[in-house]
Amino acid sequence: MTSPSQVIVVGVDGSETSRDAARWALSQAALTGTGLRAVSSWRWPNYLTRVPPGVDLAQETGEVLDEIMDGVLAENPQAAATVPVTKHVIEGPAGPALLTQSAGATLLVVGARGRAAFPGMLLGSVAEYCVRQGTCPVVVVRA
């Protein structure tokens, strides 16, 4: 069993680059004998003042996280059998949520460009935030 500090944290936002980051993080966790903590975050857009009926962003975010991680684990059954994986859905901005979840971690892994990126960016805003503010090593996975 791994200690809390022997964990790789990966950010998952539903984008293809976050799927690539999750694949890489799972393989790295298998190679190094660490656990894997998959993290997704959500928050209400600033322009919404009321919660629309029937909308549950936490649940929707969890479903996306499950879909991505279930697919990644199915692609690599050997690693899936040996790496302890936990999933966390956090309310708040992605960058700070990832840094909070990666405090004391072995490594933080993020995709190079998430959903908010625009053509020509070398890094997405969340990846750049994590690289600049992270307290553990940060790996940015490009597609």
pLDDT in tens, 50-96: 767 777 889 999 999 999 999 999 999 999 999 999 999 999 999 99
**Predicted confidence (pLDDT) per residue in 11-27, tens digit:** 999 999 999 999 999 99
Please name the residues in contact with 72: beta carbons below 8 A apart, sequence gap of 6 or more: 19, 22, 23, 26
Domain boundaries, the chain: 7-141
CA angle 2, 111, 68 (to 5 degrees): 70
Candidates 2.60.40.10, 3.40.50.720, 3.40.50.620, 3.60.15.10; correct CATH number of 7-141? Answer: 3.40.50.620
Instruction: Answer for the pair 126, 110: CB distance below 8 angstroms, yes or no.
Output: yes
